[in-house]
Structures are given as structure tokens and as C-alpha cells.
Amino acid sequence: MLGFPIPYPHELLYSTIARAGVHDGETSPKQLLDSVFDDRKVIATVDLPSHIEKIAAQYPENLGLVAEKLIGEHTLWPLYSPFIPEQRGRAIKQWMMSKSYGSAHLASGIAASRIKHKLALYLCPACMDEQKAEYGEAYWDRRWQVPLIRLCGKHGPLQESNIRLNEEHRHAFVDISEVQCSIELDVSDNDRRFTTLAIPLLQNDILKSPTYHQWTLLYQAFAGEYGCLEGKRIDHRQLFRKYISRWGASWLQQSNLMPDITETSWLRGIFRKHRKSFSFAEHITVVDALSAGQITISQAIQRALLFPSEEPKRKKLIRVSEPSNSKDQIQWLAAISEKSPKQARQEHPALYARLYRTRYVWLMQVNAGNRVPYPNQNKRVNWNDRDRQTAKKLMQMITELEEDLSLPRLSRSFLLHQLPNTASIEKNLNKLPRCRTILKYYSETIAEYQIRRLTVAAVKQRMDGLDIRRWSLLRQAGLSDERMTEIANIFLNGLLTE
């Protein structure tokens, strides 16, 4: 595309593409996708967009607007990068540069995080006035779209626009001049504090992210420095009290950050050995609560990088050759020939203790070679009952949905997502034969969906008293000759003949 606009400071790539469509006079979202990406299936993503190399290719080389620079300055990637292992971060950036197919959101943890991306686009009218005065046009600022942020750090509360993401605007890059606004959001002092702490992450120049081991050591050090140790153990109750006292239960519940008091609480997990990434909001609020606002998240990241990046490797057991087995060793070999090492230890505790003191290396090697695999059986769920109950819900739901001809395609995925426990059902369909049968029988094929759309279009035109013509039916149904299946084409020809 000639004359592709250069992004303004903190402008989302989503906004730059939308402005490109306005400057070029594109009225069709699909035509804009063709012009920029040469691909009509690209989804208009706000936080971690893909196909960025194709956007970088729109600019001359002397501008230096390469894909890496666009990712760092015009997406929300800097919010997540410090908390993701470096190797995975490189893979995510590579997906963002080319095709992602949702991999960037899965690998970054956003898809499963308790901190979800915003469902609509937000804006600050005062910032828009300043943008128009300085640049002659307004644009979508990435700081407005940061999850949990409800106000502009300069002017005050944000306003929610009428642009809902991943719905009817799934493939449309909507310019900010085309939106309508609602009333201002209600904000609190905690919203202001969180905004002050989170926005600097977008300008962070940290080139390396801490490893899981470095995060583990950092939080262990913090617990000791700020009086949250009980002997050598972390006092999780004290941590819980400090966290709630600093941020308040109401704000935490509203932000989906309220920890529980169980052993599996995310607040306990962040002070244990890290085996997964935690969100930027969890890190920010915990560091701020523990240090009472004395340490920023950028300082915490810099300090984490000072710790050893990997856990010291344990020394390998060295096989020691002994002239002959002692009486205790012979007795232990006889015991584990009949039972597992654990059972033998329970029956012969004194024998095990003697060998542990005098023949430790030998004992560990023998036990390792005689381990009994433990059968991992999940008996928590009665899948037969779950299958019966879910199948009943599915049939009730399908009966209600069949009456509404304006619905999207009733695919297997669509039907599953109408259930309250979608993920559990989808992952265990092999254990739910009734549900599988219902989904197979009632899932709508592309041809059936196209026929339904043509039927709705024909009925509407008849009710409006219009002549039914091929081009008008296709436009009304949102179809074209290129995309229409053979069966739908036969149906349409029969409809026109009648």
C-alpha cells in the first residue's frame, strides 16, 4: 500500500492500519486486509497482533521501522516480556512477526490468565483533542488498552467505546473517528496507583527477562527483608494480610486478583518455586504491597537479574564397587524383591536406617532400579453422569437455538462454548460418548450454514416486497460465488427458479 502512515508515539498497530484504510479511502474491511496483508483471514488484534513483518515491509528501510521496533513500541508486548522465559519470548515474537494462529496468546499465558484482555476499545477524549491539535488526527493509544487500567494518567477516567473486540469487528480495523463513547468509568485511588505502576512497563528497556529460578530467589529474598518469615519458612498468612491491606478486597475482587487462603492460591505460588509465569498485574501488586510502594516493578526486574539464572545441578551418585554385600544389604535385596522400596522401608525401618547411614549410595541406586510405577487414576469425576447431564443440557440448548435463524454457524465449537464448563467438556470428549454423538449429529456444516443464510435473506426480501435476485440475495446473506459451496449453489439456483 502506497503512503502507509507512520505510527505516532504509543499508537497501536491496530490504529495505524485503521488510519491507513481511512487515508486510502477503503470502505470494506476485507479490501483493507487485502491491501495490507494480502490475506482476508487476518484478525484485527489489539494486544499481540501477528503479520507484523508485512506491516514493516510497507515502510522504507531508512525509517528503521523494522518488526522488532514495531513490536516494542506499538503493541502491548512490553507488558508481558519481562515475566516470560527468554526462549519462549523469542518464539512469541517470531509468531507475532509472521502467522500466529493464536499461539502468541497461548504461549504468553494470556489465554489462561486471570487477567483478561479488554473486551472493548477504550479512549480518553482529552488526549484525542491533544492528538488532533498536534498531528491533525486522533489515534488509538496503547496505554488505554492495558488490562485493568481504567484511567489516563494525565487526564482522568477513560471512556468505553462501542467497538467490541472479537465480535462483529473481528476482521475490521476501526478508526477512532468512527466510534461512539459511553460515560466515564468509575475509578478509585487503587486504579490510579496501579496505572502509575503499570504504564512504565511499556517504556522498559530491559533486554533480558529473569528466569523462573531468578524470580524464585527474588521473592524468597523479599519475604525475608520485609518480615514475612516464620523461622526459615515463608509466613503466607502475613503475606496475605499485607496484600489485602495494601490493595483492598473490593478492588482485588473487581480486578480478579483476590487470592484465596488455600494451599493452591496464586499468592502462595508466587513465593514458591516458579514453574510457570505470573501476569504483570500479579507481580506489580505483590511487589508494591510487600515493599509498601518503595520498590517499582522495573527495580524488581533489575534486581532479579542479579541472582543466578539456573539452580545448581545436584551431584550425581557415583557407583562404588564393593567387594561383597553385607548382611544388611542381602536382607534389603530380599525385601525389595517381593515389595516396593517404600513398602520394604515401612516394614523394616531399622534396616533402612542402618543402610541409609552406612551404604547411602548403594541404597539409592538399588531403590532407583526397583521402583514400582504408581497408577495415576483420576476417580474424582463420574464421567457417565457428567455425560448424561451435559447431553441433556446440550439438547435443551440446541432446541432453543434452532428457532433463531440469525445465529452464527452452529459448529461444534460454538455449541461447546454455550456450556458453562466448556474447557472441561472439550478436553474430555473421548469420555463423553453421548455428547460426541449429539455434536456430530447437530453440528452445522458450512453448506448448511450458507443455506440458512440464503433462506433468511430470501424471507426478509419477500416480507419487504422486493424482487428476489441472485446478487441481492448474495449481498444480503454475506456470500459470494467464490466462497459458496456446491450444495448451497444448487439450493440458490432452485430458489431463484421457483
The residue count for the chain: 498
440 lies in the same domain as 474: no
- Give the tens place of pLDDT for each residue, 469-496: 888 888 888 888 888 899 988 888 888 8
Task: State the average pLDDT over residues 319-324.
Answer: 56
For residue 7, being part of any structural domain is answered with no
**Tally of domains within the chain:** 5
If you write DSSP's letter for every residue of 399-461 in order, what string do you get?
Answer: HHHTT-TTS----HHHHHTTSTTHHHHHHTGGG-HHHHHHHHHHPPPHHHHHHHHHHHHHHHH
Q: Are residues 126 and 177 in the same domain?
A: yes
What was the pLDDT predicted at 305?
A: 92
Kindly report, residue by residue over 209-226, the tens digit of the pLDDT: 899 999 999 999 999 999
- Please check whether residues 164 and 17 belong to one and the same domain: yes
- 205 part of a folded domain: no
Could you tell me the pTM of the whole model? 0.63
Domain membership of residue 30 (yes or no) is yes
- Same domain membership, residue 25 and residue 82: yes
- Is the domain of 175 the same as that of 133? yes
Confidence label for 392 from pLDDT (cuts 50, 70 and 90): very high
pLDDT of 3-32, one tens digit each? Answer: 789 999 999 999 999 999 888 888 788 889
pLDDT at 231: 84
CA distance 8 to 192: 25
Together in a domain, 267 and 395:
no
Q: Are residues 181 and 35 in the same domain?
A: yes
Amino acid at 46: V
pLDDT band per the 50, 70, 90 thresholds, residue 1:
low
Q: What torsion, rounded to 10 degrees, do the Cα atoms 381, 438, 411, 164 define?
A: -50
Task: Reply yes or no on whether the pLDDT at 321 is more than 70.
Answer: no
What is the percent of the chain where pLDDT is above 70? 95
Q: What is the pLDDT of residue 363?
A: 92
- Among 115, 119, 102, 15, residue whose Cα is nearest residue 50: 102
194 belongs to a structural domain: no
Residue 142 lies in a domain: yes
In a domain, 216, yes or no: yes
Digit-coded pLDDT (tens) for 252-271: 999 999 998 888 899 999 99
CA proximity to 274, closest of 236, 309, 238: 309
Measured over all CA atoms, what is the biggest interatomic distance in the chain, rounded to whole angstroms? Answer: 103
What is the pLDDT at residue 316? 60
Find the range with the poorest average confidence among 51-65, 166-180, 447-461.
166-180
Measure Cα distances from 122 to 16, 22, 55, 131, 257 in Å: 16, 20, 24, 15, 21
Tell me: do 349 and 253 sit in the same domain. Answer: no
For residues 289 and 428, state if they share a domain: no
Residues 165, 20 within the same domain: yes
What own/partner pairs with CB < 8 Å and gap ≥ 24 does 316-325 have? 317/361, 317/364, 317/365, 318/361, 319/361, 319/365, 320/361, 320/362, 322/362
Question: Collapsing DSSP states into helix, strand and coil, what is residue 387?
Answer: helix
d(CA 254, CA 150): 12
154 occurs within a structural domain: yes
Mean pLDDT across the stretch 373-380? 67
Q: What is the pLDDT of residue 88?
A: 92
What integer is the mean pLDDT of 300-310? 90
Does residue 20 sit in the same domain as residue 144?
Answer: yes
pLDDT at res. 215: 93
pLDDT for 322 beyond 80: no
Please write the tens of the pLDDT for every residue from 351-369: 999 999 999 999 999 998 8
Write out the DSSP string of 146-168: STT--EETTTEE-EEEEEETTTT
Q: What is the pLDDT of residue 218?
A: 94
pLDDT at res. 114 = 87
**Average pLDDT of the segment spanning 159-175:** 83
Q: Which of 444, 461, 481 is the last residue of a domain?
A: 444
Domain that holds residue 351: 327-369
- Domain end position, chosen among 185, 218, 240: 185
| 465 domain-assigned | yes
Could you give the CA distance from residue 63 to residue 199 in angstroms, rounded to a whole number? 26
Given a cut of 90, whether residue 310 has pLDDT beyond it is: no
Note whether 361 and 467 are same-domain residues. Answer: no
